[in-house]
Amino acid sequence: MSAAPHYPVTPDGRYFVVRGRLWRTSNPALDPQLRQELVDRLMAARRQVGVAKKAGDAQAERAARAEVDGAKRGLGERGPAWWTDGAPDFNRRMVANTPYAEWFAALPE
């Protein structure tokens, strides 16, 4: 069994990088209990997406995807940025097209 992959996290902790794309991290200021509840909700919703897709139930899939979105918004991974310094949000952007490009290019391979 292999270890979980390590994704680099930007120096400010706002994003991690997967295949050259920035993904917003969860809000680090969340209460640990709330964070765990949201993660549990997210994982359950993701499982429901798979069940609905396998069953060919488009309505159930839409509902499960809405649950995924709600959990991700609660975690701060979607919706308004969780930081308050006015910095722009580069979520889902290619890192090479952002101010993080130089940092990312300097990472060891």
pLDDT digits (tens, 9 = 90+) for 21-43: 999 999 999 999 999 999 999 99
Provide φ and ψ at 36, rounded to 5°: -65, -40
pLDDT over threshold 80, residue 4:
no
Nearest alpha-carbon partner for 22 in 103, 85, 86, 83: 103
Taking CA atoms, 27 is separated from 35, 100, 103, in Å, by 9, 19, 22
Specify the range with the lowest mean pLDDT, choosing from 2-16, 30-44, 53-67, 70-84: 2-16
Distance (Å, whole) CA 85 – CA 90: 14
Mean pLDDT, the chain, rounded, equals: 95
Taking CA atoms, 49 is separated from 42, 63, 94, in Å, by 11, 8, 26
pTM of the shown model: 0.87
Q: What's the pLDDT score for residue 1? A: 46
